[in-house]
Structure 1
Amino acid sequence: MSDVLALGWGAYLFCGLAVFGGTMLQRLAGQGFGMVAAPLMALVAPAFLPATILLIGFVVGVGSTVVDTSSIARRELPAGFAGRILGAGIAAWIAASVAQPEVFAVIIAGGVYLGIALSLLGVRVPIVGATLFSAGAVAGVMGTLTGVGAPPMALLYQNEERRRSAAMQNVFFAFGMVVSIGALGLAGLIGVRHLAFAAALVPFALVGLRAARPLSRRMARQSIRPYALAFAGTAATILVVKQLL
Structure 2
Amino acid sequence: MGLAVFVGAIVQGGVGFGLGLVAAPVVTILAPEVVPGALQVVNMTLPLFTLAAEWRRADLRGVLWAMLGRLPGSALGALVVVYVSVSALGVFVGLMVLVAVALTARSAGVPRNPATVAAAGFVSGVTGTATGVGGPPMGLVYQDAKGPQIRATLAMYFFLGAAQSLVVLWWVGELTAEAVRFGVVLVPCLVAGFLLSGRLRRYLDRGRVRAGVLGLATVSALALIAQSLVR
TM-score relative to the length of structure 1: 0.80
Q: Which has the higher contact order (CA 8 A, sep 6+)?
A: 2
- How many Å separate the matches in 2 of 1:157 and 1:113? 20
Paired with 2:100 and 2:134, the residues of 1 have a C-alpha distance of: 11
- The answer for the alignment partner of 1:77 in structure 2 is 63
Aligned mate of 1:168, from 138, 147, 153? 153
Tell me which of 36, 48, 56 is aligned to 2:34.
48
SS at match of 2:54: coil
Which of the pair has more CA radius of gyration? 1
Q: Which of 209, 219, 224 matches 1:221?
A: 209
1:25 aligned residue: 11
Give the superposition deviation at 1:215. Answer: 3.3
Cα offset for 1:197? Answer: 1.0
* Equivalent runs, 1:169-188 vs 2, <5 Å: 169-188=154-173
Written as runs of structure 1 = structure 2, the 5 A alignment for 1:105-184 is 107-108=89-90, 111-122=93-104, 123=107, 124-184=109-169
Shift of 1:73: 2.2
The residue that corresponds to 1:94 in the other structure is 80
User: Contact 1:46 / 1:105 at 8 angstroms: preserved in 2?
Assistant: no
CA distance in 1, matches of 2:178, 2:156: 27
Compared with structure 1, are the counterparts of its residues 198 and 225 closer, same or farther at alpha carbon in structure 2 (3 Å cutoff)? same
Q: Which piece of structure 1 moves more, 222-231 or 35-44?
A: 222-231
- Give the percent of matched residue pairs that are identical in Structure 1 and Structure 2: 26
d(CA) in 1 for partners of 2:210 and 2:2? 26
Q: Which runs of 5+ in 1 are unaligned?
A: 1-14
Distance 1:193 1:105, change over 3 A: farther
In 2: Cα distance, 1:172 partner to 1:218 partner:
24
Check if 1:62 corresponds to 2:68: no
Give the Å deviation of 1:212.
0.8
- Rate the CA distance shift 1:227–1:160 in 2: closer, same or farther, 3 A: closer
CA distance in 2, matches of 1:42, 1:187: 20
Q: What residue ranges of structure 2 are gaps of 5+ in the alignment?
A: none
User: Cα gap change, 1:93/1:205 in structure 2, threshold over 3 Å: closer, same or farther?
Assistant: same
Judging changes above 3 Å, is the alpha-carbon distance between structure 1 residues 236 and 72 closer, same or farther for their aligned structure 2 residues?
Answer: closer
Which string of whole-angstrom CA distances, capped at 9 and with x for unpartnered residues, describes residues 28-52 of structure 1?
1111111221112222222221111
Q: CA RMSD in A?
A: 2.5
Is the Cα contact below 8 Å between 1:127 and 1:156 reproduced in 2? yes
| Larger mean Cα displacement after TM superposition, 43-52 or 223-232 | 223-232
| DSSP-derived class of the 1:121 partner | helix
How many residues in Structure 1 have an aligned counterpart in Structure 2?
225
Deviations 1:64-97 (A, max 9, x none): 2222012112222222111111110121122222
- Listed one character per residue, the Cα deviations across residues 92-142 of structure 1 (whole Å, up to 9, x for unaligned) are 1222225xxxx5466546545544544443253222222222111111111
1:179 to 1:121, Cα distance in 2 relative to 1, 3 A: farther
Deviation at 1:228, TM superposition (A): 4.0
